[in-house]
Amino acid sequence: MVSDFAPRSVAPVVARRHRRRRRVERMWLPIGFLAPTLGLLFTFDVYPLFLGGWISLWRWGIRAEKFVGLDNYHRIIEGLGGRPGGGPGEVSQSLLVTFFFTVVTVPVTLVLAFVVANMLFAKIRGLAVLRTAYFIPYITSTVAAGLAFGFLFNPTVGVLNAVLKAMESRSRISSNSSMPRTNGGSSSTRCTKAPTLS
């Protein structure tokens, strides 16, 4: 008789344990997946926000000197009125610069971005060159770009350095020929030596 009743008494216990385990998994599994993102969010967003609020309540030099409460915010509100001699104060100037950046720089940047994006897909001459010039900075690493420009400006074998030296010699010749002639028509040989590119 005991063997007949044992499975019936054990089954509800096993079922309860299974349900409890599933509840724990449903609760902790999402938390485990969210924990890295929540940790980064707290470390780089939430904590600096509260830390900045706490720092703003102190007077600072190299380190925190004195707890001043809301005096810093009071100084900001006073700074909105402008300087005594006229002109905007520090806070007003910052707000004007921010307003200028928002109203002027952002729309101009967006318009230029749309124009360039349209040119990249338009049927115009030199499209391959335009696309290459546009995408090279995105696909070239900083190290490769540094090596390439180091080679271009190399003092001995650099292509751009050779072009600059040729331009320098031409400008020196033209400046010597344009100097006034003295001593029976001979040009003056006194001239300052131009710095050479290295």
- Tens digits of residue pLDDT in 170-195: 777 766 665 555 554 444 444 455 55
CB proximity list for 148: less than 8 A, separation 6 or greater:
140
- Residue ranges per structural domain of the chain: 1-54, 141-174
Mean residue pLDDT of the chain comes to 78
d(CA 147, CA 149): 6
- In percent, the amount of the chain with pLDDT more than 90 equals 15
In which band, very low, low, confident or very high, does the pLDDT at 158 lie, cut at 50, 70 and 90? confident
Average pLDDT over residues 151-161: 85
Q: How is residue 34 written in tokens?
A: 């969210």
Inform me whether the pLDDT recorded for 1 exceeds 50.
Answer: no
d(CA 44, CA 50): 11
pTM as predicted: 0.39
